[in-house]
Structure 1
Amino acid sequence: MSETLILVPGLGNTPRLYEPQIAVLSSGRKIIVADHMRDDSIAAIAARLLKDAPERFALAGLSMGGYVAMEVMRQAPERVERLALLDTSARPDTPESRQDRERLIALAEAGRFDSIIPTVWPRLVHPDRQSDQDLKAVVAGMMRDVGAEAYIRQQRAIMGRPDSRPFLPGIEIPTLVLVGEADVITPPDIAREMADMIEWASLAVIPGAGHLSNLEQPDRVTHLLQVWLERPQA
């Protein structure tokens, strides 16, 4: 069992993203939530994480947090004991995604930051959760706490991320690749691609979840993370 678990939130998320998991996984280990708001590149966010981290740790990231986690593995693989990639992708941004990000950045820059959640909400969660106002309030609250300036930095960082696929076969630690069955942002086929490239990876597809799988199905995701944290190393 790892002494320290570092969690990296996604775009527009705060440590609140992982509240259901922290409540359970903090028993017997230290949990750190990485700062991903102050830098405008994935490489810089990863470097900040490594500067603040202990010598050895387990690492999990959702969406943007997964991009950061893969960059940490690129910069200092010897420091990571185990890796969890949740609802994320090893691919670089597509031209279509970049265009959509530029549109969202323009809204934030024009003082229309509050309109972003209604714009992106339908793509964030399972169709059955579209009308879940409590969940929507959590997501909107995190966005407000992040704020427009940090959100823009995060989007710029995501747009500039590298293609991590050539790097994945070199990962030789226990790895969990997890995705919501209805994730339309980083679909299950993308997760399978990553899992197939990592020798020690296990793949979990979460029923009843979209892109925010750990908030939509917290008990199921937390259990899988517990199993991952207790998985023996070779």
Structure 2
Amino acid sequence: MNFSQIVMVPGLLSTGEVYRPTIDALGSDVFVAETRLDDTIEAMARRLLDEASGRFLLCGHSMGGYVALEVLRLATERVAGLALIATSARADMPEQTSVRRRLVAMAQERGIEAAAQMLEGKLFGPRTGSEALRRLNLAMAREIGAGVFARQQAAIIGRRDQRAMLETLAVPTVVLAGTADAIIPPQRSQEMAAAIPGAELVTLEGIGHMVPLEAPRETAAAVARLQARISADRRG
């Protein structure tokens, strides 16, 4: 394969555990990017480029997708393939920014669990929000904490609109979206897949925003197909 490792970028309030089922299914060399130390998407992307090895297959979920697109903007030659999962290429809208700031204030005043529980109702699809997944989601939020949550939200609020870049991408790409995603509408994934040359769109019926946890087999299968496509493109 024409890459040295898979790099996975977690989303807001998520640790590398959000990718655990995918990592276990792939059995591959995976590096989980650090998203807890910086307050801009660009800084997260630059840290990833400094810490990852060589060329890599890049997977980004939600906020991690914003980081992945920024990595492409900064160093497209480092990316052998791209998986964009429940994410968007658009900048934050004013109403989204307002909600984010209210959640940060809640986390600072009442604790991170209050903000995580406020978000929880929108994270999972109607049939996939099991008690075990909800406990995992809360455990990840506790590990992240209110201070990191504030930094991550500041980064998301200040992110670039990357739509103009999409048509210039020349890496094998898969875009995954859940039809029941109440955080980022699946139309945003459709928009990206339509703009990126040759992108594969995977639509997951009844799945919400937490695609890697709700649909681990489908997520791993999509990444495995991407691996195969990269290998085929190299041979061709």
TM-score (ref. length: structure 1): 0.96
Q: Separation in 1 of the partners of 2:182 and 2:227? A: 27
Please tell me whether the aligned partners of residues 208 and 216 of structure 1 are also in contact (alpha carbons under 8 angstroms): no
Structure 2 unaligned blocks of 5 or more: none
Q: Separation in 2 of the partners of 1:203 and 1:129? A: 21
1:72 aligns with 2:71: yes
Please tell me whether the aligned partners of residues 208 and 217 of structure 1 are also in contact (alpha carbons under 8 angstroms): no
Structure 1 residue 113: Cα displacement: 1.7
Q: Separation in 1 of the partners of 2:177 and 2:113? A: 27
- Name the % identity: 41
**Paired position in structure 2 for 1:100:** 99
- Residue identity in the other structure for 2:145: G
Structure 1 residue 211: Cα displacement: 0.3
Structure 1 residue 59: Cα displacement: 0.2
Please tell me whether the aligned partners of residues 178 and 204 of structure 1 are also in contact (alpha carbons under 8 angstroms): yes
**Paired position in structure 2 for 1:141:** 139
1:22 aligns with 2:20: no
Q: Separation in 2 of the partners of 1:119 and 1:128? A: 19
- Residue identity in the other structure for 1:43: E
Q: Separation in 2 of the partners of 1:224 and 1:49? A: 22
**Paired position in structure 1 for 2:219:** 221
SS at match of 1:19: helix
SS at match of 2:30: strand
Structure 1 residue 117: Cα displacement: 1.9
**Paired position in structure 2 for 1:188:** 186
TM-score (ref. length: structure 2): 0.95
Structure 1 residue 111: Cα displacement: 3.9
Structure 1 residue 160: Cα displacement: 0.3
Q: Separation in 2 of the partners of 1:54 and 1:129? A: 35
Q: Separation in 2 of the partners of 1:128 and 1:31? A: 29
- Write out per-residue CA displacement over residues 177-226 of structure 1, whole angstroms, 9 at most, x where no aligned residue: 11111112212211110001100211000123100011111112211111
Give runs of ≥4 in structure 1 deviating > 6 Å: none
CA RMSD of the aligned region, Å?
A: 1.1
Structure 1 residue 128: Cα displacement: 2.1
- Write out per-residue CA displacement over residues 150-197 of structure 1, whole angstroms, 9 at most, x where no aligned residue: 111000000000100001111011000111111122122111100011
- Partner residue of 2:160 out of 156, 159, 162: 162
Structure 1 residue 127: Cα displacement: 1.6
